[in-house]
Amino acid sequence: MTQLPIEPELVVTTALDDTVVVLRLNRPHRLNALNESLVTALETALAEAVREGRRAVILTGTGRAFCAGFDLKEVRDDGGRRQIDAQQRLAEALTSLPIPVIAAINGLAVGAGCEIALACDFLLAGSDAEFSLPEVLIGTGMGGGTSFLLARTVGRVKASDFVLLGEQITAAEADAIGLVSRVVEPDHLEAAAQELASKLASRPPHAIATVKKALFRGLNQTFTESLDAELTEIRAAHFHPESVALMESFRHRSTRT
């Protein structure tokens, strides 16, 4: 088996303050292409963000790419099974994380790179970003829950156009089909992500966690099931100490106006 080179820190973690942390994929020599080690490092960093009480995470890439998918040049002696399992775990970690994750797309988001961005809560794209899901071009299938998330994000017809052709699209085209939250100038991308993260961090964390969970839960429920689940969630949130304080403050403001 080919000996792989020892790589530097695979995920660079930068705490902006007590509430917001930036996780930067750090394999620029491979356009931040995923391998098992990078996925494990990212899973660890996400879990650590929760343990440290962070309220928002910014996920971005080092260099000129967000992530160029899985590293197909690495030796795989199991038909790619470990890579596939790693990607599925990462998608589950991102979508189930109780804090919001902002994908700041700098440059290329290809294959699994596009797919992990889709599993985030916000997709901010630099105007020079480019997206593609080229699985059909290399004879494979989608991963990371994309078969579930993509059509629910952009609609089945637009999803078919994007995936079945496998062609690269620009940030403006991604914005037009609803794939990204917003597009900003490349030199403003990190500042825009930090501004959004700060806004999210100012919201009650238990409410953010409840609503994020509800959004993903509701993707696969009937309307009646969603109503029942919402009732349980609202009752639980209503009696949370922070909610009680916020509602009391709101009532006082309403009385004075």
Residue with tokens 């929760």: 50
Q: Domain boundary residue among 155, 185, 201?
A: 201
d(Cα 240, Cα 146) in Å, to the nearest integer?
Answer: 34
- Report yes or no on 129 lying in a domain: yes
For the stretch 161-218, pLDDT in tens is: 999 999 999 999 999 999 999 999 999 999 999 999 999 999 999 999 999 999 988 8
> pLDDT of 70-87, one tens digit each?
887 775 666 667 888 888
- Does residue 155 share a domain with residue 188? yes
185 in the same domain as 89: yes
Q: How many CB atoms lie within 10 A of CB 154?
A: 20
Q: Contact at 8 Å (CB) between 38 and 25?
A: yes
Residue numbers annotated as active site: 115, 135
Closest CA to 35 of 74, 88, 81: 74
Please tell me whether residues 58 and 110 are part of one structural domain. yes
Report d(CA 118, CA 133) in Å as an integer. Answer: 11
Residue 21, pLDDT > 60, answer: yes
Number of compact structural domains in the chain: 2
Position 4 in a domain: no
